[in-house]
Amino acid sequence: DAKTTQPPSMDCAEGRAANLPCNHSTISGNEYVYWYRQIHSQGPQYIIHGLKNNETNEMASLIITEDRKSSTLILPHATLRDTAVYYCIVRGYNNAGNMLTFGGGTRLMVKP
Amino acid sequence: EAEVAQSPRYKITEKSQAVAFWCDPISGHATLYWYRQILGQGPELLVQFQDESVVDDSQLPKDRFSAERLKGVDSTLKIQPAELGDSAMYLCASSSQAGTDTQYFGPGTRLTVL
């Protein structure tokens, strides 16, 4: 699996955009980038994923660089409820097909 | 919106006792995963099912852990005997197919072994 590198923590002011970076310089051509978040004591929540093109849904936007070696998750208007650990994952494959290898993630603190 | 169900949410047990966790995946999801998350770390895959068959249990400590999904729907993860180091969050996830689809996680079971 390609490994990812994320800053361990970030702060963001409420109402501002939160931009969470992720480096995945060894990503392979057929590997997707997934983002999950985990609010304290809850299960990980799926946010968004992409392969090459930028993606947007009701939760966030995902910007992937042209060389695919890095990406940025954007929460356009962060709220206090967005405080969580955000995991950037390059989805790998085991013999059974699909596996997610979580790293340490970025702890995002949204402040009033 | 369909969700993955898990029970119990919290479990406290003494070492050497047996514990069991239950997971009900999203309806129609053929692939089911059990992960373990130690405090301060990301989740790690323990076992993966495709329908009722185990397709990856390479990270499952088989001397004490077992998992089953008898009818290809809900699943049970068991630990016997529990050890202090088993204290963790046990997460269940499901996806409609193994190869391509997004995994959706349940709320987890927090296990504390005393």
Tens of pLDDT, residue by residue over A43-71, are: 999 999 999 989 999 999 999 999 999 99
User: CB distance from B109 to chain A under 8 Å?
Assistant: no
pLDDT at residue number B65: 97
Residue A68: strand, helix, or coil: coil
pLDDT of B26 higher than 60: yes
Give the integer Cα–Cα distance in Å for B93 and A64.
26
What's the mean pLDDT in B9-28? 96
- Which pLDDT belongs to residue A92? 67
pLDDT in tens, A3-12: 899 999 999 9
A43 to chain B, any CB pair closer than 8 A? The answer is: yes
Confidence tier at A2 by pLDDT (50, 70, 90): low
A65-101 confidence digits (pLDDT tens): 999 999 999 999 999 999 999 999 988 666 566 678 8
Q: What integer is the mean pLDDT of B29-50? A: 92
Q: Which residues, numbered 61 to 80 in chain B, qualify as contacts with chain A under a Cβ-Cβ cut-off of 8 Å?
A: none
> What whole-number percentage of chain B has pLDDT above 70?
96
Could you give the 3-state DSSP secondary structure of residue A82? Answer: helix
What six digits make up the tokens of A56? 């947007």
In the predicted structure, residue B114 carries a pLDDT above the cut 80: yes
B22 touches chain A (CB under 8 A): no
* Residue B49 and residue B31 in contact, taking contact as beta carbons nearer than 8 Å: yes
Closest among A10, A91, A82, A88 to B42, alpha carbons compared: A88
CB contact under 8 A, B103 and A98: yes
Distances B24 to A99, B95, B106 between C-alpha atoms, Å = 19, 12, 9
What gap in Å lies between CA B95 and CA B31, rounded to an integer? 5
Question: If you ran DSSP here, which 8-state letter would residue A101 be given?
Answer: -
For chain B, the average pLDDT equals 93
Interface test with A, best of B103, B104, B110, B111 (most A CBs within 10 A): B103
Question: What stretches of A2-64 show up as alpha helix (H) in DSSP?
Answer: none
Three-state SS for chain B is CCCCEEECCEEEECCCCCEEEEEECCCCCCEEEEEEECCCCCCEEEEEEECCEEEECCCCCCCCEEEECCCCCCEEEEECCCCHHHCEEEEEEEECCCCCCCCEECCCEEEEEC
State pLDDT tens for residues B42-91.
999 999 999 999 988 999 999 999 999 988 899 999 999 999 999 999 99
pLDDT at A91: 81
Is B102–A87 a contact, with Cβ atoms under 8 angstroms apart?
Answer: no
The letter for the amino acid at B1 is E
In the predicted model, is pLDDT for residue B99 greater than 80?
no
Sheet with B19-24, edge to edge strand ranges: B5-7, B19-24, B75-79, B65-68
Lowest-pLDDT range of B6-20, B57-71, B93-107 = B93-107
